[in-house]
């Protein structure tokens, strides 16, 4: 009975978030005539998709109590590598760009996963190091410049609109990814294991769940998702540069925390993260439309992050 | 009694459903070592927690040197000179001995206010010398052995002017040499007028170091004897009471094939050359005191901890068990001693917990078949008689007995044939205990084998077909169901 | 009692192999010293000008910023926490240095006083931001990572905000020589210019911190809290205040580093200190300060800072000699961090293994 009540409270959080989202959309539309335009919405949703995908995989990692802040570096490196390979003589064939990107992501994810699970390293610091390594490699490849990559495969992923519905392709990918993650976390055996690890890692281990293997796979998944986002970004901007995705970690972590996932692990769900991603995306876009600049938003981001966590924390304490 | 250092008079304490202490009176003189013995659940720890200020008493009074005292918290008790040394040592491992002794009150030089390390080390040296310890105060505590850390805790207590020291199972993790060393320290404490309450299951040690012994049983004081005048048999019969009639009729189960063979299982410094076998339908009991290594054996067999040497043979073939999932693969399941720590995910629902050890079997393919899960969970809830409003209830809202049954159900769901149970009825009510015994019997009838650890002697004598007594990391004795008695088991632990 | 002494003697006399001495021993210093030596030799023989006074000077002038922030980070790691906002606090301070300087100049304050005032106000900023971190972590109870992550965004955002709003921050240049000299004077005189004044600052700072950590009650409380918070609390130490202080110190050090950086570069921009969190954490962990808390000291950190400085300069020269891209520096930094925490983790695992208990 209590669990049902608990579930209700959790669902209602997600519902509240979606209501907040709608309210914000309404508010911004009223405040700025450019907000509710097709161009803006389309751009906004594309931007959201780019960071939304990694927010999804990060949710799983955070449920198990881990963290991955190397995603920004991963994304940047992906764009740089693709652009670099496209511009060497002879350039790599266009169809190979996707597998190359995914392989890179897998390599980075595997690296993270190995060090964190086998050596029991602090995930924050480890992925901080990986972030530096990947972004640094991006700088090495491009010598700190931007390299143009204008071709159809990445263009398809990042720049196309689905005809008829006029939906940006990145958004479609995000929907697919979220659907996949929703089922993975909520309905698959693997997802069950993730939740068990998050709820009580010692009990999960004693129940025969291969904790290290699950965690490793989560970091692997995160790496692949990040480089897929890199593909999207490459397509969107047609440029590979090491400064890409600077600060995306902050956006993503804030979104996941907003969605109700706890930093200490155990709780969390994909729909909540989706709500969080959408709310933040609308917030930033809306503020930009009203006239705030990126730097102002950065300042608020910091405050919002702490407020969100403080709010959730106080709610937990109220229960007891 | 004006020369009693400590008197606890007519202490009573009740917890929901159980009378932990009933009218218990003990007294302790300065410079005396009083042994406090009794089975698990006799009330020893409750009594000490009251003395320590952790619990309040329902009735009774505490007098120190004739004065009535009232404790609200451990710091009150500490102020009155009472210090309890528990199993878990609270040390600052990265700092030195001197610093641990003086933490929070490091001596400073006049004027500058800077820490005077020379004075600190001198101070520490003095305290240690008073206890006849030769330890360099500049040693990092993390490098000390468990015994040395214990000694440090005692020194710390003296430093804070403790006059009444309670030691709870101090020799559990010690070897012979260190135990003698500890006794030497206790003797010098006596000379300084400190009163010591010595709690231990190790009766031969109790005989060696105590002046008098108080025996508790089922929350009451049975009696106090002068150690020099008492005999081991007398003490044991006081602890154990009359020969308990079997309160649970055990069925005769035919013993079948060899399920498990353990040969020379060794963990360096922990357990040595543990060898035994388990047959289908059998319950083998592992009995041992705290620190005997019995838990290490079970954990090694399940792959939770590694082992250094030995062979494990499951149904005739060699098994290499590096992790719990491997053990489960061989058909070995484990019921941990602490269900909240290692047995259950308290925030998750009943059905999730029951299926946690066999997730891959909830339907074919990668998808989790929720309907099948509900069926499985429902079946076990019925079979094991788990009382829960429904399958989605979070486990933390259920009673201890039902929680333990869920752990058992989880084990049963794995379809294991070999069950390693670590205190299967710990902390649960009688009704639930009977249910669990019933399940254990059912399992045996179906051809499973159980290795059981229990520190409750009646339970062990009742349920086990064979009992292996483990002491100091080795198998000390083996008894069949017929020949085993409580006295024999306890005696065997002293070997 | 001879038994106790025999036991303790036996334990300490356990023979230790080279591997253990280097990595599991009490101090990282032998290993670090060895690493520094290897690096110096490597760069010395693979580039042309490494063994030159110019190199020495370059390295010395590169390390103050990281070295100063490492002091703050040491306090934070010792209490078992983490502060990833230090780079942003530095950046925010850098911007404010230019602003304050401009303000004071325009207000007609005599140039001799300006550096002092700027330093003072900058310290206030650092202390303020560090206080906010400390309060949120110890009073509201939010995880240090999230708190300092939020502060990182906040401070960096604020710095950029200022940079947009003030004309002078378009270039962020300071030309006032009096101010710049706080980081540029050489001793003993302008003719015999060997020791940069920043080295003196570092010496004083490190000496003072070593004394605080070893010889003051506060310093010992820091170690106690990091070693075993519960035991420290039982002993009567104000755990909350100790933790809070560590974050304040971290903020103050970051702002001090910001002042020095601006004086060195004569430039105060909002991207100052970007990515320095990584270097500082690397330096401190490599220097033997454990992330578990309660263990480590500044002696190792000094060598670690030198190692990072040698690598930084060495790689520049390496690039000139071999054409290898300078940008490998970031990659190397990241790898060293992972190496440093791996070593730390290995040491922690070895300790846990030694403490197996019979149950």
Q: Which of A143, A264, A293 has its CB closest to that of C325?
A: A143
Average pLDDT over every residue of A286-313: 87
ipTM attached to this prediction: 0.87
For C6, nearest residue in chain B (alpha carbons) = B134
Q: Say if C135 is an interface residue toward chain A (CB within 8 Å).
A: no
Q: Average pLDDT of A72-84?
A: 95
For residue C300, the surrounding DSSP H or E stretch is helix C298-322
Using a CB-CB distance cutoff of 8 angstroms, which residues of chain B are in contact with residue A205?
304, 323-324, 342
Does B266 have pLDDT greater than 90? Answer: yes
Return all residues near C268 (Cβ < 8 A) that are at least 6 apart.
Answer: C94, C95, C96, C97, C98, C169, C172, C174, C262
- Tokens, residue B136: 């360099």
Is it the case that residue A3 has pLDDT exceeding 60?
A: no
CA of A9 to nearest chain B CA: how many angstroms apart? 14
Does C182 score more than 70 pLDDT? yes
pLDDT above 70 as % of chain C: 89
Question: Does residue B292 have a pLDDT over 60?
Answer: yes
Q: For residue A128, give the chain C residue with the closest CA.
A: C278
Chains touching B (3+ CB pairs < 8 Å) = A, C
Range of lowest pLDDT (B217-226, B309-318, B484-493, C26-35) = C26-35
Pairing of strands B67-69, B59-64: antiparallel
The conformation of residue B333, written as its DSSP 8-state character, comes to E
Please check whether residue B20 is in contact with residue B219, taking contact to mean a CB–CB distance below 8 angstroms. yes
Q: Residue B35: name the closest of B182, B166, B218 by CA.
A: B166
Average pLDDT over residues A63-86: 94
Q: pLDDT, tens digit, for every residue of B160-202?
A: 888 999 998 888 777 778 888 889 889 988 988 899 999 988 8
> Which residue blocks in A88-120 are alpha helix, DSSP H?
97-118
Region label for B333, one of left (φ > 0), alpha (ψ between -120 and 50) or beta (otherwise): beta
279-298 of C, contacting B, C-beta below 8 A: 290, 294-295
pLDDT band at C16 (very low <50, low <70, confident <90, very high): very low
Minimal-distance CA residue of chain A relative to B333: A207
Residue positions counted in chain C: 359
Reply yes or no: is the peptide bond before residue A173 cis, omega within 30 of 0.
Answer: no
The 10 Å Cβ neighbour count of residue B66 is 11
Place of tokens 């020495």: C56
At residue C349 the predicted structure's pLDDT band, cuts being 50, 70 and 90, is confident
Q: Is the dihedral of CA B321, B325, B328, B329 positive or negative?
A: negative
* Phi, psi torsion values for A240, nearest 5 degrees: -110, 120
Q: List, for residues B44-78, the tens digit of each pLDDT value.
A: 888 998 998 888 889 999 999 888 888 888 778 88
d(CA C30, CA B58): 61
Nearest CA in chain B to A196: B345
Third-level CATH fold of B4-240: Rossmann fold (3.40.50)
Listed in sequence order, the residues at least 6 apart from B90 whose beta carbon sits closer than 8 Å to its beta carbon are B153, C228, C230, C231, C234
Q: Do residues B494 and B289 touch, judged by C-beta distance below 8 A? A: no
| 3-state DSSP assignment of residue A306 | helix
Q: Which of residues 461-480 of B touch C (CB under 8 A)?
A: 473
- The per-residue DSSP string of C237-249 comes to --HHHHHHHHHHH
Cα–Cα distance for residue pair A195/A7, rounded to 1 Å: 15
Q: Are B4 and B164 in contact (CB under 8 A)?
A: no
Distance CA A280, CA C228 (A): 39
pLDDT digits (tens, 9 = 90+) for C80-123: 999 999 999 999 999 999 998 888 888 888 888 888 899 999 99
Residue A91 has pLDDT above 90, yes or no: no
pLDDT at B281 over 90: yes
B347: tokens are 């925030």
Of A122, A257, A306, nearest to C341 by CB-CB distance is A122
CB contacts under 8 A, A 150-189 vs C, are none
CA distance C191 to C189: 5
Residue C17: pLDDT band (50, 70, 90) is very low
Contact status of B201 with chain C (Cβ, < 8 Å) = no
**Are the CB atoms for C76 and C147 separated by under 8 Å?**
no
Asked if the model's pLDDT at residue C25 lies above 70, the reply is no
A184: region left, alpha or beta (phi > 0 left; psi from -120 to 50 alpha):
alpha
Is A200 close to B360, i.e. CB distance below 8 A? no
Q: CATH number of the domain at A2-319, please?
A: 1.10.3470
Can you tell me the distance from the alpha carbon of B153 to that of C181, in angstroms, rounded to the nearest whole number?
55
Give the integer Cα–Cα distance in Å for B188 and B196. 11
* Statement: residue C21 has pLDDT above 70: no
Domain annotation for chain C: domains and CATH numbers: 28-344 (1.10.3470)
Q: Which tokens sit at A46? A: 């594309």
**CB-CB neighbors (< 8 A) of B90 in chain C:** 228, 230-231, 234
Distance, in Å, from the CA atom of B437 to the CA atom of B433, rounded to the nearest integer, reads: 6
The per-residue pLDDT for range A281-298, each reduced to its tens digit, is 998 888 888 888 888 888
Strand partners, B214: B36, B224
CB-CB: which of B342, B349, B390 is closest to A206?
B342
pLDDT band at B431 (very low <50, low <70, confident <90, very high): confident
pLDDT-derived band at B248, boundaries 50, 70, 90: low
Q: Alpha carbon of A167 to those of A52, B84, C247: distances in Å?
A: 16, 70, 47
Contact in structure between A232 and A157 (CB atoms under 8 Å): yes
Within 8 A of A129 by CB-CB distance, chain C residues are 278, 282, 334-335, 337-338, 341
Task: Please check whether the two domains, B4-240 and B258-493, share a CATH topology.
Answer: yes
Residue C287: the pLDDT is 92
pLDDT digits (tens, 9 = 90+) for B337-391: 999 999 999 989 999 999 999 999 998 889 999 999 999 999 999 999 898 998 9
Please give the pLDDT value at position C5: 39
Give the C-alpha separation, C323 to C198, whole Å.
32
User: CA B165: distance to chain centroid?
Assistant: 20
Of B27-41, B308-322, C326-340, the range with the highest mean pLDDT is B308-322
Q: How many CB atoms lie within 10 A of CB A307?
A: 14
Question: DSSP letter at B144?
Answer: S
What pLDDT sits at residue C26? 60
Residues of A whose CB is below 8 A from B367: 183, 187-189
The per-type count for chain B, helices as H runs and strands as E runs, is 16, 20
| pLDDT, position C323 | 67
* Tokens found for residue B406: 């869920």
Domain layout of chain B by residue ranges: 4-240, 258-493
* Under 8 Å between Cβ of B240 and B457: yes
Rounded mean pLDDT, A106-134? 95
Report H helices in chain A.
Answer: 2-31, 38-63, 71-87, 97-118, 123-142, 152-159, 169-187, 189-199, 201-206, 211-237, 248-258, 270-290, 294-319
Contact B43/B24 with Cβ under 8 angstroms? yes
- Confidence (pLDDT) at A291: 82
In degrees to the nearest 10, what's the CA dihedral of B482, B483, B484, B486?
110
Hey, where are the domains in chain A? 2-319
Quote the CA–CA distance of A97 and C131 in Å, as a whole number: 48
Torsional sign, CA B217, B223, B228, B234: negative
Task: With beta carbons under 8 A apart, name residues in chain B contacting C4.
Answer: 133-135, 147-148, 151, 181
Q: Considering the domain delimited by B258-493, tell me its CATH architecture.
A: 3-Layer(aba) Sandwich (3.40)
Q: What single string gives the DSSP state of each residue in A127-173?
A: HHHHHHHHHHHHHHHHTTS-EE---HHHHHHHH-EETTTTEEHHHHH
- Testing the interface with A: which of B298, B353, B356, B415 to mutate, by most A Cβ within 10 A? B356
Cα–Cα dist B276/B271, whole Å: 14
pTM of the model: 0.87
Question: Best mutation site among B300, B324, B331 for testing chain A: the one with the most A CBs within 10 Å?
Answer: B324
Which pLDDT belongs to residue C95?
Answer: 93
The whole-angstrom separation of Cα C355 and Cα C138 is 31
Q: State how far the alpha carbon of B453 is from the alpha carbons of A309, B410, B446, B457, B463, in Å.
A: 44, 19, 21, 10, 11
Tell me the H-state helices in B139-202: 146-159, 176-191
Of A161 and C255, more confident: C255
Residue A120 contacts C, CB cutoff 8 Å: yes
Report the candidate in B334, B347, B253 with the shortest Cα–Cα distance to residue B301. B334
pLDDT digits (tens, 9 = 90+) for B463-478: 999 999 998 899 999 9
d(CA B255, CA B282): 6
In chain B, positions 375-414, which contact chain A (CB-CB < 8 Å)? 389-390, 392-394, 397, 410, 414
Q: What are phi and psi of B287, to 5 degrees?
A: -110, 135
- List of chain C residues whose C-beta atoms are within 8 Å of the C-beta of residue B294: 359
Chain B residues with CB inside 8 Å of C295's CB? 94
In whole angstroms, what separates CA A178 from the centre of its chain? 11
pLDDT of B161: 83
| Burial zone of B384 (CB within 10 Å; 0-12 exposed, 13-18 middle, 19+ buried) | buried
Name the band, by pLDDT with cuts 50, 70 and 90, for residue B448: very high
Asked if the C-beta of C140 comes within 8 angstroms of chain B's C-beta atoms, the answer is: no
Q: Is B311 helix (H, G, I), strand (E, B) or coil?
A: strand
C291/A306 Cβ within 8 A: no
Q: Identify the band that residue B245 occupies on the pLDDT scale cut at 50, 70 and 90.
A: very low
Cβ-based neighbours of B43, under 8 Å, separated by 6 or more: B20, B21, B24, B216, B218, B219, B220
Distance, CA of A31 to CA of A290 (rounded, Å):
7
B466-471 and B474-480 strand pairing: antiparallel
Nearest to C334 among A119, A130, A305 (CB): A130
Cα separation, B492 vs B485, in Å, equals 11
| H-helix or E-strand spanning residue C135 | helix C114-135
How many other β-carbons are positioned within 10 Å of the β-carbon of residue C354?
A: 13
Indicate the pLDDT class of residue A113, thresholds 50, 70 and 90.
Answer: very high
Nearest CB among B323, B344, B394 relative to A203 is that of: B344
How many Å apart are CA B456 and CA C165, to the nearest integer? Answer: 76
Start-to-end Cα distance in chain C: 27
Residues of chain B with Cβ-Cβ distance to A4 below 8 Å are 392
């Amino acid at each position: 009975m209590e669990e049902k009540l608990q579930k209700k409270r959790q669902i209602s959080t997600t519902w509240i978030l979606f209501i907040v989202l709608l309210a914000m959309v309404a508010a911004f539309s009223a405040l700025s005539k450019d907000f509710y335009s097709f161009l803006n919405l389309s751009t906004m949703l594309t931007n959201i998709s780019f960071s939304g995908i990694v927010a999804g995989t990060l949710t799983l990692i955070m449920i198990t109590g881990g963290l991955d802040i190397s995603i920004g570096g991963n994304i940047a490196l992906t764009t740089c590598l693709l652009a670099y390979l496209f511009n060497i003589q002879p350039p790599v064939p266009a169809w190979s760009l996707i597998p190359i990107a995914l392989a890179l992501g897998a390599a980075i994810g595997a690296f993270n996963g190995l060090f964190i699970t086998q050596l029991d390293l602090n995930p924050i610091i480890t992925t901080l190091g990986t972030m530096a390594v990947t972004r640094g490699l991006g700088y090495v490849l491009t010598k700190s410049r931007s390299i143009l990559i204008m071709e159809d495969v990445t263009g398809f992923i990042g720049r196309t609109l689905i005809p008829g519905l006029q939906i940006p392709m990145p958004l479609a990918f995000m929907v697919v990814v979220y659907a996949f993650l929703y089922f993975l976390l909520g309905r698959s055996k693997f997802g069950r294991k993730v939740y068990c690890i998050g709820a009580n890692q010692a009990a999960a281990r004693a129940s025969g769940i291969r904790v290290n293997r699950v965690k490793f796979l989560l970091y692997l998944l995160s790496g692949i998702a990040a480089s897929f986002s890199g593909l999207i970004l490459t397509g969107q901007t047609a440029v590979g540069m090491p400064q890409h995705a600077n600060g995306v970690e902050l956006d993503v972590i804030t979104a996941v925390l907003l969605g109700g996932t706890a930093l200490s692990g155990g709780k969390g769900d994909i729909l909540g993260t989706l709500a969080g991603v959408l709310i933040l995306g609308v917030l930033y876009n809306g503020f930009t439309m009203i006239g705030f600049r990126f730097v102002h938003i950065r300042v608020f981001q910091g405050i919002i992050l702490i407020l969100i966590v403080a709010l959730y924390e106080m709610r937990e304490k109220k229960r007891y | 009694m004006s020369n009693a250092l400590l008197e606890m008079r007519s202490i009573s304490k009740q917890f929901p459903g159980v009378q932990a202490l009933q009218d218990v009176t003990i007294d302790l003189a300065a410079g005396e070592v009083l042994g406090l013995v009794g089975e698990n659940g006799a009330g020893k720890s409750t009594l000490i927690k009251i003395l320590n200020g952790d619990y309040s008493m329902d009735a009774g009074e505490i007098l120190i040197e004739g004065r009535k005292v009232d404790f609200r918290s451990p710091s009150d008790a500490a102020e009155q000179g009472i210090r309890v040394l528990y199993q878990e040592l609270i040390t600052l491992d990265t700092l030195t001995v001197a610093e641990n002794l003086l933490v929070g009150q490091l001596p400073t030089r006049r004027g500058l206010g800077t820490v005077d390390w020379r004075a600190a080390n001198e101070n520490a040296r003095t305290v240690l010398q008073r206890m006849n310890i030769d330890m360099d105060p500049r040693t990092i505590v993390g490098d000390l052995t468990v015994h040395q850390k214990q000694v440090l805790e005692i020194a710390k207590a003296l430093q804070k002017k403790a006059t009444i020291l309670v030691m709870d199972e101090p020799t559990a993790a010690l070897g012979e040499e260190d135990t003698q060393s500890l006794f030497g320290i206790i003797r010098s404490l006596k000379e300084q007028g400190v009163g010591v309450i010595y709690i231990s299951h190790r009766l031969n040690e109790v005989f060696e170091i105590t002046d008098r012994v108080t025996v508790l049983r089922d929350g009451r004081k049975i009696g106090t004897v002068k150690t020099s005048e008492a005999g081991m048999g007398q003490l044991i019969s006081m602890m154990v009471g009359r020969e308990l009639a079997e309160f649970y009729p055990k069925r005769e189960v035919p013993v079948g094939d060899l399920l498990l063979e353990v040969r020379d299982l060794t963990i360096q410094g922990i357990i040595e050359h543990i060898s035994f076998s388990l047959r289908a339908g059998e319950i083998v009991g592992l009995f041992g005191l705290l620190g005997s290594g019995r838990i290490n054996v079970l954990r090694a067999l399940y792959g939770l901890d590694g082992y250094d040497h030995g062979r494990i043979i499951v149904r005739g073939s060699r098994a290499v068990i590096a992790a719990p999932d491997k053990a489960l693969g061989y058909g070995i399941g484990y019921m941990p001693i602490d269900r909240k720590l290692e047995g259950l995910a308290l925030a998750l629902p009943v059905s999730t917990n029951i299926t946690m050890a066999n997730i891959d079997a909830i339907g074919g393919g990668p998808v989790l078949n929720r309907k099948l899960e509900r069926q499985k969970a429902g079946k076990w809830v019925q079979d094991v008689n788990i009382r829960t409003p429904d399958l989605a209830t979070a486990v933390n809202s259920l009673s201890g007995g039902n929680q333990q049954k869920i752990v058992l159900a989880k084990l049963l769901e794995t379809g294991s044939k070999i069950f390693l149970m670590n205190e299967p009825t710990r902390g649960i009510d009688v009704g639930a205990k009977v249910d669990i015994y019933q399940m254990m019997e059912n399992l045996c009838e179906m051809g499973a084998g159980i290795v059981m650890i229990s520190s409750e002697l009646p339970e062990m004598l009742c349920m086990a077909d064979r009992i292996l007594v483990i002491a100091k990391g080795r198998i000390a004795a083996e008894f069949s169901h017929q020949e085993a008695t409580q006295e024999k088991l306890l005696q065997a632990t002293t070997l | 009692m001879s038994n106790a002494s025999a036991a303790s003697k036996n334990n300490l006399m356990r023979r230790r192999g080279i591997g253990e001495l280097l990595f599991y021993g009490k101090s990282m210093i032998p290993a670090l010293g060895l690493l520094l030596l290897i690096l110096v030799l490597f760069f010395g023989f693979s580039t042309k000008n490494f063994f030159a006074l110019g190199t020495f000077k370059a390295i010395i002038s590169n390390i103050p910023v990281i070295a100063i922030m490492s002091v703050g980070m040491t306090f934070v790691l010792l209490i078992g926490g983490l502060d990833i906002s230090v780079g942003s606090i530095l950046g925010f301070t850098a911007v404010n240095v230019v602003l304050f300087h401009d303000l004071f100049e325009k207000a007609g304050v005599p140039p001799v006083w300006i550096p002092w005032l700027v330093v003072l106000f900058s310290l206030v900023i650092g202390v303020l931001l560090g206080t906010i971190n400390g309060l949120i972590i110890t009073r509201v109870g939010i995880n240090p990572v999230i708190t300092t992550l939020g502060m990182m965004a906040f401070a960096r955002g604020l710095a950029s905000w200022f940079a947009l709003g003030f004309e002078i921050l378009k270039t962020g240049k300071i030309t006032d020589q009096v101010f710049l000299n706080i980081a540029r004077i050489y001793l003993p005189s302008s003719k015999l210019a060997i020791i940069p004044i920043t080295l003196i600052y570092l010496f004083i700072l490190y000496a003072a911190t070593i004394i605080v950590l070893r010889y003051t009650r506060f310093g010992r409380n820091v170690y106690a809290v990091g070693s075993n918070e519960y035991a420290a609390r039982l002993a009567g130490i104000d755990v909350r205040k100790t933790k809070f202080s560590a974050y304040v110190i971290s903020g103050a050090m970051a702002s001090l580093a910001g002042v020095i950086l601006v004086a060195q570069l004569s430039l105060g921009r909002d991207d100052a200190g970007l990515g320095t969190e990584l270097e500082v954490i690397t330096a401190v962990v490599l220097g033997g300060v454990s992330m578990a808390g309660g263990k480590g000291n500044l002696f190792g950190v000094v060598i670690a800072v030198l190692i990072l400085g040698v690598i930084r300069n060495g790689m520049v020269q390496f690039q000139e000699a071999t054409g290898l891209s300078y940008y490998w520096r970031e990659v190397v930094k990241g790898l060293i961090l992972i190496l440093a925490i791996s070593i730390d983790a290995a040491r922690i695992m070895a300790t846990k293994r030694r403490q197996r208990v019979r149950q």
